[in-house]
Amino acid sequence: MNLDKSKKRIAKKVKMGFKGYPQLSIAYYGETVDLATEVVVTFTAEEGAAPQDQRFVGQTDVREDEVIQSALVKIMERTDAKTVLEVAGVSLKQS
């Protein structure tokens, strides 16, 4: 799947807001707020359930990495996520 298509599918799902569980949360991290080198996807099956994290790390900006963005779409599809939340911007990594 190409990069633009992946980003649009993720953005569309995020824009829908809270629709219930299962829920995915996507957060980007980096050394600076301009470069995201890591993305953490948190899956919550139901309210009160323990969240499961999956981390992807890249050498370049993971928001522009076609493979990683396609993987995020596949995770959305396979988990049948009703809600997808995205943390705005890039959070700084803790050293």
**What order do you get walking across the sheet with 23-30 strand by strand?**
52-57, 38-44, 23-30, 83-92
User: What pTM, to 2 d.p., does this model score?
Assistant: 0.91
CA gap 86, 95 in Å, rounded? 23
CA gap 48, 87 in Å, rounded? 20
Q: How many domains does the chain have?
A: 1
Contact 94, 30 (CB under 8 A): no
Q: Which amino acid is at 22?
A: P
Contact 8, 16 (CB under 8 A): no
Q: Profile the chain (95 residues) by mean pLDDT over runs of 10 residues.
A: 92 96 97 94 96 95 95 96 96 82
Looking at residue 94, its pLDDT comes to: 76
Domain with 84, as residue range(s), is 3-92
Residue 92, number of CB atoms within 10 A of its CB = 10
The CATH code of the domain that includes 18 is 3.30.720
Looking at residue 95, its pLDDT comes to: 60
Looking at residue 1, its pLDDT comes to: 75
Looking at residue 93, its pLDDT comes to: 85
